[in-house]
Amino acid sequence: MYRSRTGARALGLLAAGVVVSCHKATLAPRPCLPAADTSASAKSVLPLAGRYDLTLVANLGPKAGDSSRGHLEIWPQEPPGPPGTTSVAPRAGAAKIDLAHVGARAPGDIESRNPSAPGVLVIDRHQNGLRTLLRFGSEANRSDRQSIEAVYTVLEVSQGEMGWFSGVWRSGFVEVATTGFFCAVRTS
């Protein structure tokens, strides 16, 4: 069968367009950009239980300018925490993302689904307004002990709606070594 270069080129462009169209359908509805106001309190409904595409972008540290994409799953945790405390952890989760690619580190397994040491712990802090944090690393999230000085990666939610949330993140050992911003877009 004979094919012209023009026909092959047109077919190649059509195939590329189909791939790009399919790929665009899975991308975030907005680009992952730094939050305009990171001091804003996030709503207590964020982040909701579900699955998210997660993007981390480093803006300070040895990997500044690099980004990493992966997945985050969040589920309700019972019990959420002692009543009357300033911090409760009503949700837990697991993440699959290359933290090292953006210069971040976490103590333990971020993919852990162990209820006593989840890979991600969602913490609502009720001091000076609501602050929602996602702490990465099963060792940092163990229910039988509290880490004081250890490697850490924490995401702080600063804005969002029902299908997405975003904010800033920091990682280090005792002191901040690298920081950046993140975006999470709900997939289910």
Q: What is the pTM of this model?
A: 0.76
Amino acid of residue 91: R
Residue 81's pLDDT is 53
Residue 12's pLDDT is 38
* Closest of 138, 71, 60, 57 to residue 101, by C-alpha: 57
pLDDT confidence band for 5 (50 / 70 / 90): very low
Amino acid of residue 145: R
Share of the chain above pLDDT 90, in %: 47
Are 90 and 124 in contact, with CB atoms under 8 Å apart? yes
Question: Can you list the domains of the chain with their CATH numbers?
Answer: 29-186 (2.40.128.120)
Residue 30's pLDDT is 62
Higher pLDDT, 101 or 18: 101
